């Protein structure tokens, strides 16, 4: 995709998420359902308590907080400033670092034991099954020997 289209896409996404994130917990997440799931995902990835985790596209911080509850040291990043304000309002005093930024351009000066991403919009692309571009960007922030966790709800078929 040409760079100008990519930028326009990013800005449109930011605006639409800013709108929906005006109310806290827009997605209506319930901890009882998601906490066992996040625990299981971390266990499958063998991510030990105390690990640093970057939650990319953390939205309003719900999953970032569950990662924290599993003993992780969490940094959440999202392009939506409204989402991050909501995350800070609800979870900000719990020791999670929440940053506003575009993961395409932010340029972290550190790497993480684990990069985690759930339903990141950047994967909403037609060549999803074959494209490695987004993943390559995210992998730059995984420590050598660290873990990349990708979760995405999809009805894509394998054939
Ligand atoms: C479907 S929501 C998922 C939010 C959260 N991970 C969850 O599981 O509830 C997708 C998120 O990706 C974020 N996002 C989209 N493009 C981004 C980018 N370039 N950098 C950082 N976050 C981005 C959106 O703002 C939105 O919060």
Comparing CA positions, the residue from 158, 80, 156 lying closest to residue 120 is 80
- Measure the CA–CA gap between 3 and 1, rounded to whole angstroms: 6
Band (159; pLDDT cuts 50, 70, 90): low
Say yes or no to pLDDT of 129 above 90.
no
Let me know if 111 is exposed, middle or buried by CB neighbors in 10 A (0-12, 13-18, 19+): middle
CATH 3.40.1360.10 fits 48-159, yes or no: no
Q: How far is the CA of 87 from the centre of ligand 1 (A)?
A: 13
Mean pLDDT of 59-78: 98
Comparing CA positions, the residue from 67, 75, 89, 74 lying closest to residue 23 is 89
Q: How far is the CA of 115 from the centre of ligand 1 (A)?
A: 14
Write the DSSP assignment of 40-59 as a string of letters.
HHHHHTT--TT-EEEEET-T
pLDDT in tens, 87-116: 999 999 999 999 999 999 998 899 999 999
Mean pLDDT of 121-148: 91
- Measure the CA–CA gap between 25 and 117, rounded to whole angstroms: 18
Nearest CA to ligand 1 atom 1: 119
| Residue found by looking up tokens 């992780």 in the block | 72
The residue whose CB lies within 8 Å of the most ligand 1 atoms, and thus the one to mutate among 3, 16, 59, 87, is 59
- Measure the CA–CA gap between 3 and 105, rounded to whole angstroms: 12
Any ligand 1 atom below 6 A from CB of 63: yes
- Measure the CA–CA gap between 52 and 9, rounded to whole angstroms: 30
Q: How far is the CA of 58 from the centre of ligand 1 (A)?
A: 6
Q: Model-level pTM greater than 0.75?
A: yes
Q: Which DSSP symbol is given to 139? A: H
Nearest CA to ligand 1 atom 14: 57
């Amino acid at each position: 995709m040409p760079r100008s289209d990519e930028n326009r896409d990013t800005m449109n996404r930011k605006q639409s998420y800013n709108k929906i994130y005006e109310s806290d917990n827009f997605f209506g997440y319930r901890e009882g359902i998601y906490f066992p799931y996040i625990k299981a995902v971390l266990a499958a990835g063998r991510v030990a308590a105390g690990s640093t985790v970057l939650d990319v596209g953390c939205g309003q911080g719900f999953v970032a907080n569950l990662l924290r509850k599993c003993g992780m040291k969490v940094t959440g990043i999202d392009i939506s400033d409204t989402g991050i304000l909501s995350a800070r309002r609800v979870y900000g005093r719990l020791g999670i670092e929440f940053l506003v930024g575009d993961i395409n351009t932010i340029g972290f000066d550190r790497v993480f034991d684990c990069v985690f991403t759930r339903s990141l919009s950047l994967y909403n692309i037609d060549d999803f099954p074959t494209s490695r571009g987004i993943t390559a960007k995210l992998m730059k922030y995984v420590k050598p020997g660290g873990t990349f966790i990708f979760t995405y709800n999809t009805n894509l078929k394998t054939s």
